[in-house]
Structure 1
Amino acid sequence: MPRLVAIDRPGGPDFVAELQRIWDAGDAAFPVDQRLPARAKADLVGAMRVGDDVERGDALVVATSGSTGAPKGVVLTHDAIASSARATSARLEIEPDDHWLACLPLSHVGGLSVVTRALQSGTELTVHPGFDAEAVMNSGATRVSLVATTLARIDPARFRTIVLGGSRPPVDRPANTVATYGLTETGSGVVYDGVPLDDVEVRFVDGEIQLRGPMLLRTYRDGRDPKDADGWLPTGDLGHWLDDGRLHVEGRRGDLIITGGENVWPEAVERILSTHPAVDDVLVRGCPDAEWGHIVEAVVVTNGSPLALDALREHVKSSAPAFMAPKRLTLVEQIPRTSLGKPIRTATQP
């Protein structure tokens, strides 16, 4: 029987060669997060049951980020990653002379999917051990996958296309960027700039986004299948179709702030606050309150300029209802985020 084999090495040609060797042997690969200490690596390898059997046709086990709990092992088949590669390459209009750069963590699907996409399409591929702005600019690549924080450190004009995943894209993002929506369970982004990829179906159940398509996971490593009997995957995200037919993702169901009976989505407030001249980075969350149920809190990294709560409130109220304005301001040195730039809202709880 094929088995699960760990790849515990940094990004580079050796990583790609090891992945190909594992696949040639009929086994499945589990990329290990290189930023973890030895004990954490050992615990994760054990949790993913490295060395145990996998089903024939399984290609990868990818750990979810674990920002809201213990990481789950997402099992992706060869058929699923091939479907993802075909659909993303078609949408991005990949050319024979294109050159992909992988510089995000390969333990996460946002970085690993660049590698699998290039291998499936035969596109030239460069893999870096991590993000380094100078190395990215000198890579010679034409396509790259980044997150908002890394995008800000390079000249975007250097690339034909920049695929943006992870956290919310910047309001003034360059024209050559494509904002993606997807989960580890979908093998990569499956909605590009609000438009589902070919063969990807989207529906809403009580406001929750559900997805179906050939690139979805087979199961979790513990045997649980999050899809229903008809193949629909509940995402835990709420959203709706915009008037122009594009998907709008409101956010995680658990992130919704209900204050005085009004619904406030953190990302909507973050987008407004990020345009304040004193704000360098921001996270919005709800705090329990006896009078309002919850109040909106802004956790802010400033650029060194003084900042007061009243100024933030007025900035929000200039373009949104007053109930969306924060009632609490907390100044911090850094916003806690996952490696792909997603804010960890629970990490800022008092």
Structure 2
Amino acid sequence: MNAAIATALAAARSGLLVPPPPARWPGVLDALFTGPRGIGSLVRLSAARHPDRVAIVDDEGALTYRELLAEVDAAAAALHYGEGVGALGTVGIMCRNSRQFVVALLASTSLGADVVLLNTDFRDRALAASLEGHDISLVICDAEFEAIVGAVPATRTASPGARDQGHRAPSSPREGRLILLTSGTTGTPRGVPRDPDVRTVLGMTASVILRTGARTGMRTMASVPFFHAFGLAGLLITLGLGGTLLTCARFDPASALERAAVHEADALLVVPVMLSRILDAVPEGSETSMPRIVLSGGSALLPSVAERFTRRFGDHLYNGYGSSEVALATLATPSDLRRSPGTVGRAVAGATVAILGDDGAAVAPGSTGRIHVGGAPAVGTYTSGQRKGEVAGLIATGDKGFMDRDGLVHVTGREDDMIVSGGENVYPRALENVLAGHPDIVDSCAVGVPDEQYGQRLAALIVADTERLREPDLRSYLKDSLSRFEQPRDVHFVSAVPRNAAGKVDRRATTALLVQLSLEASS
């Protein structure tokens, strides 16, 4: 669907076109036509329409839109007059999900400063590279991160709770950019600049609204970190719709579901590993209800997890696919997942998704190739100046997959995860999909390791109840489900799979763990 048509339909169906009471029209007009266009103007528009509606519920309690704007203005004054933040500068934010993250973000961009969203898991190499690569001398961070940020040379920290009620910060002719960082699990994190003009993501936003039925005033339980593209999008869509953002600093299945239930959440945002933890935490046959929309994204949704969730809770599950570089590219609905569990669905409005072969030409339906995405939200150049691979204006996502005859996209794995074992191309995800379907396996991952005879082989890390699951039983289970070359040569039972804050497997940490396990086995 054309992005402009989708946007018009979404605006009408979501309730955005319903006019506010006449007394609020001056504030709405001011938000629409005064100041720079960007995420700040979206929030100010929602505040003008619904000043006394609760905007955020976090671990500190509730905050209305009127109170949120007052906090943002006071924080902007503190950052400008106390820390020298202004247009053309760059600051970092390293905060867990809370009102403080939102306030720091809106205050900084309103001053015209670019904002780099720092992963709360970054340490040492990744953190230093991110700060030095973006010339960041000031990081707004929670108290728990002050020491690790302060250890980076020429870097100072500021509290996200700083406020200046006595001054008003100067207005900026433009909002600052948002710079998202790639996960850095296999290398140095790279910065993806996002234009503050929200028009670039209207098609994506419209598709989310149309496919999920999201409406103004919706209440969203966001368990995904706000520094992640998925979490940030959920934050901005909810506040842009004049809704209530519910969140917790740290994810716990019981706490998240309780907060969602108490506030009658319409939507729950999770990464796939959180879905697994919810399924494990909620007893079979319990009365636990789910929000109408459960949106999964950020990493691969294993088919067995999708099937378990749908079987337990019904048709609430949606599955998104994208990246920091291409934003949301596809979205699967519950009916799509019923038809094909694990699919990432169809392209969102304004996005072009193509599966290309090594020669750059589109492959036939059902054939595996490289996934490429184009459209207004796609960013092909990193802040370093390095360019992402492109073919005819379409950006390579780094994933391989195929499109079936119904137009549904399927991701088979990362290009750099594929191994060649004994002449066969092997994707670890095939093994991970089967492992996830075993009732005694809580979590797992598979990676390639060097092999003198076959070149490479698969190794599996498994979190399981080892009183019930033994390696011989596991191998018997896998033998009936996978080809010979997809079988893991090494199986390691571990207490936890290394994952980052966004739920993705940390490949660097996983490799280090495998080396440690191999040394222990040989000693």
Fold agreement, TM-score > 0.5: yes
CA drift of 1:15 comes to 2.3
Distance 1:39 1:205, change over 3 A: closer
Distance 1:129 1:307, change over 3 A: closer
The equivalent position to 2:234 in structure 1, one of 97, 107, 114, is 114
Please show how residues 338-349 of structure 1 align to structure 2 within 5 Å.
338-346=500-508, 347-348=510-511, 349=514
Kindly provide the amino acid, as one letter, of the partner of residue 293 in structure 2. Answer: T
Report the aligned-residue RMSD: 2.8
The equivalent position to 1:77 in structure 2, one of 177, 195, 198, is 195
How many angstroms apart in 2 are the aligned matches of 1:265 and 1:38?
Answer: 31
Q: Does 1:296 align with 2:296?
A: no
CA drift of 1:66 comes to 0.2
The equivalent position to 1:325 in structure 2, one of 487, 512, 521, is 487
2:220 equivalent in structure 1: 100
Per the normalisation by structure 2, the TM-score is 0.60
The 8 Å contact of residues 12 and 129 in structure 1, kept in 2 or not, is answered as yes
Distance 1:227 1:28, change over 3 A: farther
| Residue-by-residue CA offset, 1:224-248 (whole Å, 9 max, x unaligned) | 3326485311111111112332111
Distance 1:343 1:274, change over 3 A: same
How many angstroms apart in 2 are the aligned matches of 1:251 and 1:153?
Answer: 23
How many angstroms apart in 1 are the aligned matches of 2:293 and 2:426?
Answer: 33
How many residues in Structure 1 have an aligned counterpart in Structure 2? Answer: 348
Please show how residues 23-102 of structure 1 align to structure 2 within 5 Å.
23-36=109-122, 41=127, 44-50=130-136, 59-79=177-197, 80-102=200-222
Distance 1:213 1:220, change over 3 A: same
The 8 Å contact of residues 89 and 117 in structure 1, kept in 2 or not, is answered as no
How many angstroms apart in 2 are the aligned matches of 1:28 and 1:259?
Answer: 45
Distance 1:119 1:85, change over 3 A: farther
The 8 Å contact of residues 76 and 216 in structure 1, kept in 2 or not, is answered as no
How many angstroms apart in 1 are the aligned matches of 2:498 and 2:325?
Answer: 23
Compare the two structures and name the one with the higher helix fraction. 2
What SS is found at the alignment partner of 2:289?
Answer: helix
| Residue-by-residue CA offset, 1:170-226 (whole Å, 9 max, x unaligned) | 412323111221111123454433211111111123221110011223631213332
1:185 equivalent in structure 2: 325
Distance 1:39 1:314, change over 3 A: closer
Flag structure 2 segments of 5+ consecutive residues without an equivalent.
Answer: 1-86, 139-172, 283-287, 333-343, 358-368, 516-523
Q: Does 1:167 align with 2:299?
A: yes
How many angstroms apart in 2 are the aligned matches of 1:179 and 1:12?
Answer: 25
Distance 1:319 1:304, change over 3 A: closer
Q: Does 1:197 align with 2:348?
A: yes
1:280 equivalent in structure 2: 442
How many angstroms apart in 1 are the aligned matches of 2:462 and 2:454?
Answer: 22
How many angstroms apart in 1 are the aligned matches of 2:181 and 2:501?
Answer: 13
The 8 Å contact of residues 162 and 176 in structure 1, kept in 2 or not, is answered as yes
Per the normalisation by structure 1, the TM-score is 0.87
The equivalent position to 1:264 in structure 2, one of 406, 413, 426, is 426
What SS is found at the alignment partner of 2:177?
Answer: strand
CA drift of 1:83 comes to 4.5
Kindly provide the amino acid, as one letter, of the partner of residue 59 in structure 1. Answer: R
Flag structure 1 segments of 5+ consecutive residues without an equivalent.
Answer: none
How many angstroms apart in 2 are the aligned matches of 1:40 and 1:282?
Answer: 25
